[in-house]
Amino acid sequence: MVHTTIPRGGFPLTLSTVNIQGIAQLSIPVRDIARASLFYNKTLGLPLLFSQSNMALLDCHGIRLLLGIPEKPEDHPSSVVYFKVADIEGTYRSLLADEVEFTSKPHKIAEFNGFAVWMAFFKDPDDNVHALTSEVPIA
């Protein structure tokens, strides 16, 4: 059962008997496990936990990232994964040097709660779009 209330001047609060404890795993569709594993492991630096012919599992600071070949031949677009980094400019330059294709340079998206949110969007070898994101304190 779900109950939704909207506090004065705030966002809706949802009270539920469901107890979601966090995100355990994200899945990214790929066409070539070896190529994708190399990109996410060597280029992005995510530890490889497991790999076989049709899937690979990596660790992104406690959240599993599943790379998998779709079971059906039709295209399965991916969700955007936002990879949190401390130094967005430095990470951007490092990935450019590794020939990662960026669709945008680091740029400020918003300011809130004393932070500027910066993002830079890039493509993986399967043309899935992801982003680097960094929250920088506003001076």
Residue 72: predicted pLDDT: 75
Residue 77: predicted pLDDT: 76
Residue 23: predicted pLDDT: 85
User: Quick check: 104 pLDDT over 80?
Assistant: yes
Cα separation, 9 vs 48, whole angstroms: 45
Q: What is the set of domains in the chain, with CATH numbers? A: 22-79 (3.10.180.10), 80-139 (3.10.180.10)
Q: What is the pLDDT of residues 111-125, one digit of tens each?
A: 988 999 999 999 999
Mean pLDDT of the 10-26 span: 74
R_g of the chain computed on alpha carbons: 18
Residue 2: predicted pLDDT: 53
Q: How confident is the model at residue 90 (pLDDT cuts 50, 70, 90)?
A: very high
Residue 21: predicted pLDDT: 78
- Based on DSSP, count helices (H) and strands (E) in the chain, helices before strands: 2, 11
Residue 79: predicted pLDDT: 87
Question: Please, what is the Cα angle at 112 between 83 and 110, to 5 degrees?
Answer: 60
Instruction: Provide the residue count of the chain.
Output: 139
Both tokens assigned to 133: 């994101």
Q: What is the pLDDT of residues 55-89, one digit of tens each?
A: 999 999 999 999 999 877 676 678 899 999 999 99
> Among 61, 78, 58, 85, which residue's Cα sits nearest to residue 130?
78
Instruction: Using the CB atoms, write b or e for 93-121: b if 16+ within 10 Å.
Output: eebeeeebeeeeebeeeeeeeeeeebbbb
Residue 100 near residue 83 (C-beta atoms within 8 A): no
Helix (H, G, I), strand (E, B) or coil at 107: strand
